[in-house]
Amino acid sequence: MAADPASLIDWSLLAFDPPGWGAVLLAGLMNSIKIAIGGYSLGLVLGTGGAFGKLYGGPVTKDLLEVYTTVVRAVPELVLILLLYYAGTDLLNRLAAAAGYGTVDISGLAAGIFVIGVVQGAYATEVMRGAIRAVPPGQIEAARAFGMPPLLILWRVTFPAMLPHALPGLSNLWLIATKDTALLAVVGFSELTLVTRQAAGSTKAYMLFFCAAGALYLALTLVSNLVIRLIELRARRGWVSTR
């Protein structure tokens, strides 16, 4: 079978209207972004809680969080996703059943967000912990000396002061989150990677679709980088530039 380079690329497959797959790919991308944003936000919440727990919590809290961050950071995301996807929702269902709610309906989107969130939470815990420890204690002490209550200190001083230290790590995590969504393909969630595979499988235009998806991911990364740079610029106001 001779290869005809021209016939290798059939651009009409990327058209927006069926039978073009463009719209499907974009929908997949939207799903990926939704999960990435949701999972990342959940990860931030877990990470903030985890970081404060690890720094200021009781001994049991600290140990449990240590187990959480160690296990999540040592076990492949793919395995965690399978475990959490099945076990997590199963557990939730059983709890709901025990509480008398009957089965709760967990959408693939919610499950995906939950899974990515738990994974991200462990990493975010470590990033935030390092960042909080980098805040000079005098900054917090000064706030206490002015009679600020703990939560106010957290909100007005600790949080903004640690942000510049946390940002590089957090931006990294965001990029990881966008790419980890691809792993949800293995549980059949129709994010970008899975729809790419479906499109490629249906049309046999593997190269075309994988490259197209790669370009979409890359675009997402590049746009993210741009936004991250803007955020860093803003958060680092007040710091003498070190670069």
Q: Which is nearer to another protein, 3 or 6 (CB)?
A: 3
Q: Which is nearer to another protein, 41 or 61 (CB)?
A: 61
In three-state form (DSSP H/G/I as H, E/B as E, the rest C), the secondary structure along the chain is: CCCCHHHHCCHHHHCCCCCCCHHHHHHHHHHHHHHHHHHHHHHHHHHHHHHHHHHHCCHHHHHHHHHHHHHHHHCCHHHHHHHHHHHHHHHHHHHHHHCCCCCCCCCHHHHHHHHHHHHHHHHHHHHHHHHHHCCCHHHHHHHHHCCCCHHHHHHHHHHHHHHHHHHHHHHHHHHHHHHHHHHHHHHCCCCHHHHHHHHHHHHCCHHHHHHHHHHHHHHHHHHHHHHHHHHHHHHCCCCCCCC
The CB-of-227 to another protein minimum distance in angstroms stands at 14
The CB-of-42 to another protein minimum distance in angstroms stands at 17
Q: Which is nearer to another protein, 41 or 224 (CB)?
A: 224
Q: How far apart (Å, rounded) are the C-alpha atoms in residues 114 and 122?
A: 13
The CB-of-118 to another protein minimum distance in angstroms stands at 13
Total number of residues shown for the chain: 243
The CB-of-34 to another protein minimum distance in angstroms stands at 16
Q: How far apart (Å, rounded) are the C-alpha atoms in residues 159 and 149?
A: 14
The CB-of-15 to another protein minimum distance in angstroms stands at 9
> Around Cβ 50, how many Cβ atoms within 10 Å?
26
The CB-of-56 to another protein minimum distance in angstroms stands at 16
Q: Which is nearer to another protein, 34 or 236 (CB)?
A: 236
Q: Which is nearer to another protein, 41 or 232 (CB)?
A: 232
The CB-of-226 to another protein minimum distance in angstroms stands at 12
Q: Which is nearer to another protein, 38 or 193 (CB)?
A: 193
Q: Which is nearer to another protein, 3 or 99 (CB)?
A: 3
HSE of 165, CA atoms in CB hemisphere, 13 A? 16
